[in-house]
Amino acid sequence: MEQNNKFNLVDYHFRSQQEVVVSYKGPFDKGAMNMIGNYIRGLISMNPQASKKVFKVFIELAQNIAQYSAEKNIIGEYVGAGVGSLVIVDYPDYFQVVTGNLIDNGDLGPVIDKCELINTLDKEGLRKLKREQLKQNDYERAGADIGLIQLAITSDNPLDIEVKPIDQNCSFFTIRVKINK
């Protein structure tokens, strides 16, 4: 039977809570980074300290998706930036930056362990861990492996993570970072 699918934009638009200031799903390429980054910069005059933190958290999370998402933007033979979802919510007392992306099940364990360790540490403990990791870093690797630690330092809040198993190969990994106003 032929189906006539109509995407309901009205539902989509109003389904988002009022507090959602940005929502995006797609490749985290230059264009997306630029657009969302500039939008956050626009918020800065209202609350400079918190907005700068929102910006920093956004950059780290977005670059993680761009590099590590198991889902890539594929156009013909070209494999582009990683695909994921991002929502920034503006609550009365805090901002919440939420991202999600597919992750290979094999990579999941270390990420969860790292987040759990991070959530046991206070600010000084986090800074100490970051210094240790930076010191013993491998020159050849692109990243610094301190992204998650930096998120906790910048936001001054625990990392709230959630894993939804998808299939044998991958899961959907959500991370919520709260930034007090």
Q: Which residues bind another protein (CB under 8 A)?
A: 30-31, 33-34, 37, 41, 44, 48-49, 52-53, 55-56, 59-60, 63, 127, 130-131, 134-135, 137, 139, 142-144, 146-147, 150, 153-154
Q: How far is the CB of 150 from another protein (least distance, A)?
A: 5
Q: Which is nearer to another protein, 32 or 170 (CB)?
A: 32
Closest CA to 177 of 82, 55, 31, 63: 55
Q: Write the single-letter amino acid at 27.
A: P
Q: Is 43 helix (H, G, I), strand (E, B) or coil?
A: helix
* Burial environment of residue 38 by CB neighbours within 10 A (0 to 12, 13 to 18, 19 or more): exposed
Q: How far is the CB of 34 from another protein (least distance, A)?
A: 4
> Rounded to whole angstroms, how far apart are CA atoms 98 and 4?
33
Q: Which is nearer to another protein, 133 or 174 (CB)?
A: 133
Q: Which is nearer to another protein, 48 or 106 (CB)?
A: 48
Q: How far is the CB of 71 from another protein (least distance, A)?
A: 19
> Rounded to whole angstroms, how far apart are CA atoms 32 and 24?
9
